[in-house]
Chain A
Amino acid sequence: GENVEQHPSTLSVQEGDSAVIKCTYSDSASNYFPWYKQELGKRPQLIIDIRSNVGEKKDQRIAVTLNKTAKHFSLHITETQPEDSAVYFCAASYSRSGNQFYFGTGTSLTVIP
């Protein structure tokens, strides 16, 4: 099956700086790559996603890049704010049979005011 690795596991940045989280995947058939934000005790919520036919997608301060050849994708958060502090999960999904969804192990982001 698919194997998604995520780095770093923890990340601290000063408010206003940028944060980058990276994920790699193993199955070249994966074609959908979402990023979720999970605040303490709450459910994960989608913040941005990208499909395999696109190399980059941006939504205000958040962007995701995808390199299909290298099988890695990254989340970029610019001008970080304290409310960006949370755990971020990447995921990879493919439709070969059953629509499995595989998550990375998460990155705990702390934005220091």
Chain B
Amino acid sequence: SQTIHQWPATLVQPVGSPLSLECTVEGTSNPNLYWYRQAAGRGLQLLFYSVGIGQISSEVPQNLSASRPQDRQFILSSKKLLLSDSGFYLCAWRVPVWAGAGEQYFGPGTRLTVT
């Protein structure tokens, strides 16, 4: 069966510090991968998605970036965090359309607090 991991689970970082969140998927190949941010009490904002290694699409201009160095690894980064970067970061995967895409499966999330 497929599983999705995210780490760390929680993170407290000062403003201006760098960020690296990691997401890995097991039990599937060629997944579509997604990064979302959820501010407290708010909806899901799509940040990045990837359909393959090295292929990243950005939905919202910001000081965050994403990379996909391996098929089942998705990394969210920032060089300098802002207070507004605080939130609940969710990674998700989905079977590609050509394989019969359906629901997205979410990871457990990383709760980031920027102080």
A106 touches B43 (CB 8 A): yes
Contact among B44, B51, B90, B103 with A98 in the assembled complex (CB-CB below 8 Å)? B51
B101 within 8 A of A: yes
Residues of chain A lying within 8 A (CB to CB) of residue B59? 1, 100
B49 touches A100 (CB 8 A): yes
Instruction: Give the number of residues in A that approach B within 8 Å (Cβ atoms).
Output: 22
Give Cα A89–Cα B96 distance, bound, in whole angstroms.
22
Residues of chain A lying within 8 A (CB to CB) of residue B34? 101
B27 within 8 A of A: no
B53 within 8 A of A: no
Question: Interface residues, chain A, CB within 8 Å of chain B?
Answer: 1, 32, 34, 42-46, 49, 89, 91, 93, 95, 98-106
Given contacts A32-B101, A32-B102, 17 further A-B contacts (CB under 8 A): A34-B102, A42-B109, A43-B108, A46-B103, A46-B104, A49-B103, A89-B43, A91-B104, A99-B49, A99-B96, A99-B101, A101-B34, A101-B49, A101-B94, A102-B46, A103-B43, A105-B42
